[in-house]
């Protein structure tokens, strides 16, 4: 005789956290593309990346995820979920573990140290991706959050401040245009 499992109703707080993480991942993907096209620091970081590297950021076991691809020194957003069989995955163990870094309560380096995130793929590529994400977060997160999550808060040139303003002004449109990918 087989046992039946009764589907458990998920609490509202879990659904809310999952929605916030999903939107934050989408915002990170959109910002990654914009910053890779305009920021010299990120472009220099991407010079060492393997061409056509496909990498994903996601949440286990079946949480939200995005996939990005390195093409010609730039990043292309491929969409939500795992596309093109990514060779590098940075996966958070659960929604609670992902919620902290994606809401600026913790840096991504701290999430790795506290074993909240896993890396599937080449460790060197994972370190490069994490460094690139830190550069992107510099444009995505407000200064008060960066002061808390970074050991040394970033300093901005005038050009970088203008790019950060541009990211903030176009974020809503970028999310709307890429939400269905």
Q: What is the per-residue pLDDT across 117-157, written as a single tens digit (0 to 9) for each? A: 999 999 999 999 999 998 998 999 888 888 877 788 888 99
Please check whether residue 85 lies inside any domain of the structure: yes
Please check whether residue 177 lies inside any domain of the structure: no
Residues 6+ apart with CB under 8 A from 58: 25, 64, 65, 66, 82, 89, 90, 91, 92
Q: Is the pLDDT of residue 100 over 60?
A: yes
Q: Is the pLDDT of residue 65 over 90?
A: yes
CATH code of the domain containing 152: 3.30.1050.10
Instruction: Report the domain count for the chain.
Output: 1
Q: What is the mean pLDDT of residues 152-172?
A: 91
Q: What is the mean pLDDT of residues 5-34?
A: 88
- Tokens 């701290």, residue located: 110
Q: Which residues pair with 56 in a beta bridge?
A: 67, 89
Mean pLDDT, the chain, integer: 90
Boundaries of domain holding 163: 14-170
* Vertex 71: Cα angle to 66 and 76 (nearest 5): 35
Please check whether residue 153 lies inside any domain of the structure: yes
Give the pTM: 0.87
pLDDT band at 33 (very low <50, low <70, confident <90, very high): very high
Please check whether residue 7 lies inside any domain of the structure: no
Q: Is the pLDDT of residue 6 over 70?
A: no
Please check whether residue 47 lies inside any domain of the structure: yes
What share of the chain has pLDDT > 70, as a percent? 97
Please check whether residue 4 lies inside any domain of the structure: no
Please tell me which residue, 45 or 152, carries the higher pLDDT value. Answer: 45
The pair of structure tokens assigned to 74 is: 């730039």
Q: In what order do the strands lie in the sheet with 54-59?
A: 74-80, 65-71, 54-59, 88-92, 117-120
Predicted pLDDT at 1 = 52
């Amino acid at each position: 005789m087989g046992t039946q499992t009764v589907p458990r109703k998920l609490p509202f707080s879990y659904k809310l956290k999952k929605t916030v993480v999903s939107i934050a991942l989408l915002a990170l993907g959109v910002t990654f593309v914009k910053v890779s096209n305009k920021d010299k620091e990120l472009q220099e970081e991407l010079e060492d990346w393997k061409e056509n590297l496909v990498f994903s950021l996601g949440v286990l076991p079946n949480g939200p995820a995005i996939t990005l691809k390195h093409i010609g020194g730039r990043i292309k957003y491929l969409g939500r979920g795992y596309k093109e069989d990514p060779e590098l995955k940075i996966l958070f163990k659960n929604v609670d573990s992902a919620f902290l870094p994606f809401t600026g309560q913790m840096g991504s380096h701290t999430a790795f140290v506290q074993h909240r995130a896993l890396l599937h793929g080449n460790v060197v590529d994972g370190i490069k991706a994490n460094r690139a994400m830190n550069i992107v977060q510099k444009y995505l997160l407000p200064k008060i959050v960066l002061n808390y999550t970074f050991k040394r808060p970033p300093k901005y040139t005038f050009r970088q401040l203008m790019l950060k303003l541009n990211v903030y002004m176009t974020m809503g449109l970028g999310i709307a245009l890429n939400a269905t990918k």
